[in-house]
Structures are given as structure tokens and as C-alpha cells.
């Protein structure tokens, strides 16, 4: 049964995500808050765009302003759509292995489970404020500053920790909604990722083979 109001406030639910995820998700499943889904999907997408910018050293060839605008506009919109696709993948594959949840419930689960990644976005913003465009460069001047180097390690450690927390919360959420065991919830995530990745890989392979044949004399 779906209800319109929660017995917990948003702040309480966020707290329970970290301290008692099962209790939080029992309530979230019944409480459809579309604004939370939209905000969470968008902010997480921006954070992932920053991660890609750092990994690919966009700062070597782009200004900080361009990186930020690209993360917000391109990363935010494309990532938002991907989060919906990812939710569909979890729902679709979960139903094939005995899942009991509805599509809307999975979307809520993914959105709320992604909230720790929003804290990662805050970490990124703090790093940008502290280090500027050096965050996105392959060769940084931070090595000459011991304090900056330690801060960089600290931020990186927090990022890794929050990433693991996000994954753990997502698995618990899926297990709760789908009525799965912990291991089966992990399988559900893996199948969803494969459902999305395999067509993309096949598409790129087909494109590569076609263009490769055209280049062959």
C-alpha cells in the first residue's frame, strides 16, 4: 500500500540510512517523494561528472569554469537519464529472479540510496575551493605543499568510504524492496549493470568492426 506521508522527516530518514537502513527503506518504499528522486538523481549525476573529470584530467585542457559548467549541464542531464535507466535495469532484472517490488519503489530506493554520494559532491566542492583546478590536473603543484597533500589524501579517503557506504545502502534497499537476501540483491545489481553494459559494448564492437572494415584496403 502506498501512502503520501512518512512517519519520519527527511532528516530522520537520512540519519536512518546510515544507522538503520532497513527501517528507513521500509518507510521509503511506502512514501513516494518525487522531488527527492529528482534532486538526488541530478546531484549524484553532477558528482559522477566531477569524478570523470578528475579521472580523465580535464584540467589539463579545460578551464575550471568549463569543467564545472559541463558537470552541471551535460553531466547532470545525461546522468539523470542514466539513473532512470539504471533503476529500470534493477527493476527489470529483479523481476526475472523473483523480485517483489514495483518500478516506483526501486526508483525511490536508488534515489535515497544515492544520498551518501551527494555528500561526495560536497567533498568535491570543498576540494575545488581548496585546490582549484589542480583537482582535475594530471600534474599538480600540491606535492610541494605538505598540508595540501595530506588534505588530498583525507578527501580521497572520505570519497572511498562514502562510496562503500552508498553501495551497502543500495544493496540493503534492494534486498528490502525485492524481498531478497543480501547476496541476491548484489546479483540483482550485477545483472542490471550487465543489462545496460552489454548492448553498449556490442554497439561499440559493431561500430569498430564496421569502421575497421571500411579502412581496410
pLDDT one-digit tens code per residue, 95-112? 999 998 887 889 999 999
pLDDT of 57 strictly over 80? yes
pLDDT of 3 strictly over 60? no
As given in the structure block, the three cell numbers for residue 47 are 558528482
Closest CA to 171 of 184, 160, 161, 158: 184
pLDDT confidence of residue 123 = 86
CA distance 106 to 71: 26
pTM above the 0.95 mark?
Answer: no
Contact call for residues 130 and 111 (beta carbons, < 8 A) = no
As given in the structure block, the three cell numbers for residue 171 are 544493496
- φ/ψ (deg, to 5) at 36: -65, -40
As given in the structure block, the three cell numbers for residue 194 are 550487465
Residue pLDDT, tens place only, 178-189: 999 999 999 999
Q: Domains of the chain: which residue ranges?
A: 10-215
For the chain, the C-alpha Rg in angstroms (whole number) is 20
Name the strand (E) or helix (H) holding 23: helix 21-30
| pLDDT-above-90 percentage for the chain | 48
Name the strand (E) or helix (H) holding 146: helix 146-178
pLDDT of 45 strictly over 90? yes
CA distance 27 to 105: 11
pLDDT of 142 strictly over 50? no
Of residues 81 and 203, more confidence is placed in 81
Of residues 55 and 4, more confidence is placed in 55
Task: Return the half-sphere exposure (C-beta side, CA atoms, 13 A cut-off) of residue 183.
Answer: 0
Q: Label residue 214 by pLDDT band (50, 70, 90).
A: low
Angle at 203 between CA 185 and CA 57, to 5 degrees: 80
Amino acid at each position: 500500500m502506498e501512502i503520501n506521508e512518512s512517519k519520519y522527516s527527511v532528516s530522520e530518514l537520512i540519519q536512518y540510512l546510515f544507522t538503520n537502513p532497513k527501517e528507513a527503506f521500509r518507510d521509503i518504499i511506502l512514501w513516494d517523494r518525487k522531488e527527492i528522486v529528482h534532486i538526488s538523481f541530478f546531484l549524484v549525476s553532477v558528482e559522477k561528472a566531477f569524478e570523470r573529470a578528475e579521472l580523465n584530467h580535464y584540467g589539463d585542457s579545460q578551464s575550471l569554469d568549463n569543467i564545472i559548467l559541463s558537470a552541471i549541464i551535460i553531466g547532470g542531464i545525461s546522468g539523470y537519464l542514466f539513473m532512470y535507466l539504471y533503476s529500470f535495469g534493477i527493476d527489470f532484472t529483479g523481476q526475472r529472479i523473483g523480485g517483489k517490488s514495483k518500478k516506483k519503489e526501486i526508483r525511490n530506493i536508488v534515489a535515497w540510496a544515492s544520498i551518501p554520494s551527494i555528500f561526495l559532491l560536497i567533498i568535491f566542492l570543498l576540494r575545488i575551493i581548496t585546490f582549484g583546478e589542480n583537482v582535475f590536473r594530471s600534474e599538480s603543484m600540491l606535492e610541494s605543499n605538505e598540508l595540501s597533500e595530506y588534505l588530498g589524501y583525507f578527501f580521497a579517503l572520505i570519497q572511498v568510504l562514502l562510496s562503500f557506504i552508498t553501495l551497502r545502502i543500495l544493496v540493503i534497499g534492494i534486498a528490502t524492496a525485492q524481498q531478497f537476501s543480501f547476496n541476491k540483491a548484489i546479483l540483482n545489481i550485477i545483472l542490471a549493470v550487465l543489462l545496460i553494459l552489454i548492448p553498449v559494448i556490442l554497439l561499440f564492437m559493431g561500430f569498430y568492426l564496421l569502421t575497421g572494415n571500411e579502412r581496410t584496403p
